[in-house]
């Protein structure tokens, strides 16, 4: 049985949440793993769709542009800002976002 796009995105976003929690620990202002767990697959796909609509910012690793994207939940933007302060996390962060954009772009008709 094949996995839905929403379920795949949930799995990868959950992995990202575990990584962020491990790396950022007590500096997190939100329980990101719990936040992700409480979202539906549809909500996750919606947020990833917003990222997909702003793929140029992701391709160019534009932190300022990403921070100005409307409709991204503030909980995620807060975590993104914490990652921005950690150079050692940048590459993996952007690779996750690139994966999300690639997946959602391949499902749009």
Name the pLDDT band for 25 (thresholds 50, 70, 90). very high
CA distance 77 to 55: 16
**Cβ contacts of residue 100 below 8 Å, gap of 6+?**
9, 12, 13, 48, 51, 52
Q: Compute CA 10 distance to the chain's CA centroid, rounded to the nearest angstrom.
A: 10
CA distance 28 to 99: 23
pLDDT at 1 over 60: no
The pLDDT tens digits for 69-91 are 989 999 999 999 999 999 999 99
Given a contact cutoff of 8 angstroms between Cβ atoms, the answer to whether 47 and 5 are in contact is no
pLDDT, position 108? 61
Residue for token digits 């150079």?
87
Helix, strand, coil content of the chain in percent (nearest 5): 75, 0, 25
Note the pTM of the prediction, 2 decimals. Answer: 0.92
Q: Where are the domains of the chain?
A: 5-107
Q: What is the mean pLDDT of the chain?
A: 93
């Amino acid at each position: 049985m094949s996995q839905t796009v929403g379920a795949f995105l949930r799995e990868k976003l959950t992995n990202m949440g575990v990584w962020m929690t491990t790396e950022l620990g007590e500096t997190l202002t939100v329980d990101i793993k719990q936040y992700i767990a409480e979202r539906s697959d549809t909500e996750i796909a919606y947020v990833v769709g917003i990222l997909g609509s702003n793929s140029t910012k992701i391709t160019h690793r534009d932190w300022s542009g990403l921070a100005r994207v409307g409709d991204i939940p503030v909980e995620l933007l807060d975590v993104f800002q914490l990652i921005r302060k950690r150079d050692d996390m940048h590459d993996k962060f952007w690779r996750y976002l690139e994966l999300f954009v690639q997946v959602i772009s391949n499902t749009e008709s």
